[in-house]
Amino acid sequence: MWRIKTITGTIIESSRFTNKPMRLHERPVCSERRELWLATSHDDEHGFVIHTKLMPARKTHCVTLVLAGSTVLGLYNATTGASANYVHQDPPFLTKSLDILVLAVWAIVGFICAAVGWLGLSDVLGGALAYLLLAVACRAVHRKRLREFVDESVNELHLMRVVRPIRRAQGH
């Protein structure tokens, strides 16, 4: 499925930045970004950039980040018990700039085939529409499954922090 890992540490620096206006071909994920620096128990410092308006943690809070590569997908704040699912809060786009390139190539090939007489124009337009709908549907399913997976991961972190210490204290 996904190669998800977690990293736990104390926030030593948290900065909020407003993103600059984008160029015509760029699409902003969010109008703000947060730069987060964590100090782990091994005296390592790790920096992360999160494109979101939501940050349920402050400096000196103990947090656990849910990561896919270097992308932060979720955050659990062990100090306050708050959490954030960034896939749910600021979801990735369903269409990408690659789709425009694919549709442009599809249109060129389709018009050449239509001019030669191999395909009709309705076949070309139908194929382009089918590609676009299939790409958006696949990305929507992927986004939904990833959002649910991150929710499960954050809930597991919450259970590890709250329920398991209570059970250990009671002798279960």
At 158-169, the pLDDT tens digits run: 888 765 554 455
Q: Enter the tokens of residue 30.
A: 């969010």
Helical (H) or strand (E) element with 168? helix 121-170
Tell me, what's the pLDDT at 135?
Answer: 92
Q: How far apart, in whole angstroms, are the C-alpha atoms of residue 42 and residue 10?
A: 11
Q: How far is CA 132 from the centre of its chain?
A: 21
In a 13 Å sphere around the CA of 116, the CA atoms on its Cβ side amount to 7
- The residue-averaged pLDDT of 48-66 equals 87
- Give the largest CA-CA distance in the chain: 79
Residue that wins the pLDDT comparison between 56 and 122: 56
Q: How far apart, in whole angstroms, are the C-alpha atoms of residue 2 and residue 151?
A: 14
Tell me, what's the pLDDT at 6?
Answer: 87
In a 13 Å sphere around the CA of 110, the CA atoms on its Cβ side amount to 16
Helix (H/G/I), strand (E/B), else coil: 6 = strand
Q: Rounded to whole angstroms, what are the CA distances from 67 to 48, 92, 114, 119, 169? A: 10, 15, 47, 46, 31
| Least confident window among 27-31, 66-70, 137-141 | 27-31
* 138 confidence band (pLDDT: 50, 70, 90): very high
Tell me, what's the pLDDT at 26?
Answer: 59
User: Residues in the chain, how many?
Assistant: 172
Output the pTM of the full model.
0.73
Tell me, what's the pLDDT at 22?
Answer: 63
pLDDT per position as a tens digit, 83-111: 888 888 877 778 887 888 888 888 888 87
Q: Which domains does the chain have, with CATH numbers?
A: 4-91 (2.40.50)
